Every structure is written in C-alpha cells, then in structure tokens.
Amino acid sequence: MGFPGTWMTESESMVYRVVPKCACSTIGQIMFYSDHGRYFDGDIHDSTSGLHKWNQDASQRVIEEKVKNHGALTFTCVRNPYSRILSSFFDKIAGIQRNGKRYRGNLVPQLIQRYGIDVGSPENDFDFDQIASFRRFLLFARDTIRWRRPMEPDIHWSAMSGHIATFIVNGGRYDQIFFTEKFDEGMQKVLDAAPVTHKLNLADVPKFNESEGHGPKRKHKVSDYFDDLSRHLVWEIYKKDFQLFKYDFDDPDNKFPKSAVDIEEVHVKLGR
C-alpha cells in the first residue's frame, strides 16, 4: 500500500503525513519554502514539482526509502474533531470550490435530494439554515463512514486516526504530532528539529486557506451545531480522535486539547 497522503521536502529534511482540514495547505507551503526560499505560486495541492508527494510516481521510491529508514524528521498535525467536521461542511458542501463549481460534481445535489440539505447559493448570499443543514450532513458523513453508502467516506471527513494509522501500519513512525489550534508552537518545533535550507518566521507566513471567501461564513458558535444526537454521531465517528489526540468531547466550544499527544500511545493503538 505504501504511504498515501505523504509529502516530503526535496532536500529530504522532513516527512509529513497529510491530514485533510488540518492546516495542510500552510504546512505544504512552509515545507516548499524551507527548500526553495519562496512559496509555491498557487495551491500547494496542485504542485507537481518542488515537493515530493506519494501521488507523484517519481517520488514514491525516495519517500518509501526515507520513511522505512526513518531518515528524516516525520510529523503530522491534528485538529479538534468538532471544528474539523464543521470546516468540511462549510468548505466542501456549502462552499464553491476554486474551479467555481460544487465539490465532487453531483455530490451536493445528491445530498439535497437524499438528506434534505439546503446550502443556499452565491446568488442568495448563501442564505440557509446552517444548523439544520449541518446536522443532516453529519448524518450523511456517518452513513459513509459506517456503511460506506451512499458513497465511500471522503478524506475530508474521515477520521484523523485513520489517515495517521496507514502511515504507521505500513512501516512509518512519527517524531511529532502537533495541534492546528497551537500551530505556530507545533510547527516551530518541527522547523527547529529539521535541517532546513531557508529559515522563516512563522509570524510572517500568510494564511493559505484554499476555502476562504468561496462560501458562507459560520454564523453560530460551535456548540450550537451539535445537539444530543449530533454529539452521539460525532462520538461514533471520531471516538479515537478525541481519545488519542486529547480533545474535549464534553465541551464543543473548547477547541484546545486537554494535554499533549502521547506519541507512544498513538503508535501502539494505531499500529495494530
């Protein structure tokens, strides 16, 4: 199976297991800058050179060799499951993508028909009941993850532990796992531990948010979106994420983790 979702600097200074909706655009740009002294012109997900990626055939051998020898600092980044699934909804379901179209073509019309979701449109300034539609989307997300219908689960709302586990099961090992909510602190530790060619000040790094400005703004605090049933679904989908990455399930408005990640625990529990 190899190491899907893995990026590595061309200098082989650091290896990153991408977790969607966890600052991956910014992390990729920082990795690119650390080698080249400039940011990639465009969305880093579209780059085909300047950064090794597992989905580029020419990169697979060098990534696999480096990961299996543990020859570079290896890391990933996680995010509060409540805010991550909300971000997935507002970006991928309610938002318009960079190409000016809806995500995955007929996905949103299918959700409107099957789950009664309303996401508005740019023409009506995305005027819709955000809470009701999000809760229906959450039911859909659970159906894809639990029963793989009406489609396979999407990478943007499948559990972080699943993404992170594939890397371990196939022979990789993480040195650092940090939090999106404490991004500068965590990313700085990575940069301090890796031999970077071009140093950068994280305070000066632009926000590389591919979804910003292409959809509705969230109108309510996080907890308003999650009633008892929604929280039950969130626990069903993301139980491991809350437990392994130390987030607060009881208070959706507390976005911060309760403690640092226990790297050994992650390797033991996800490496089975």
Q: How far apart are CA 152 and CA 145, in angstroms?
A: 7
- Assess whether 16 and 70 both reside in one domain: yes
Contact 29, 45 (CB under 8 A): no
pLDDT per position as a tens digit, 180-201: 999 999 999 999 999 999 999 9
What range does the domain containing 102 cover? Answer: 82-154+216-238
- Assess whether 43 and 175 both reside in one domain: yes
Q: Give the residue-averaged pLDDT of 6-24.
A: 98
Assigned token pair, 139: 């039911």
pLDDT higher than 90, residue 208:
no
- Assess whether 72 and 115 both reside in one domain: no
Domain presence at residue 102: yes
Predicted TM-score of the model (pTM)? 0.95
Q: How far apart are CA 154 and CA 133, in angstroms?
A: 18
78 beta partners:
179
- Assess whether 91 and 34 both reside in one domain: no
What pLDDT is attached to residue 207? 83
3-state secondary structure of 79: coil
Q: Give the residue-averaged pLDDT of 35-53.
A: 96
Q: How far apart are CA 211 and CA 200, in angstroms?
A: 24
- Assess whether 119 and 18 both reside in one domain: no
pLDDT higher than 90, residue 232:
yes
- Name residue 36's amino acid: H
Domain presence at residue 13: yes
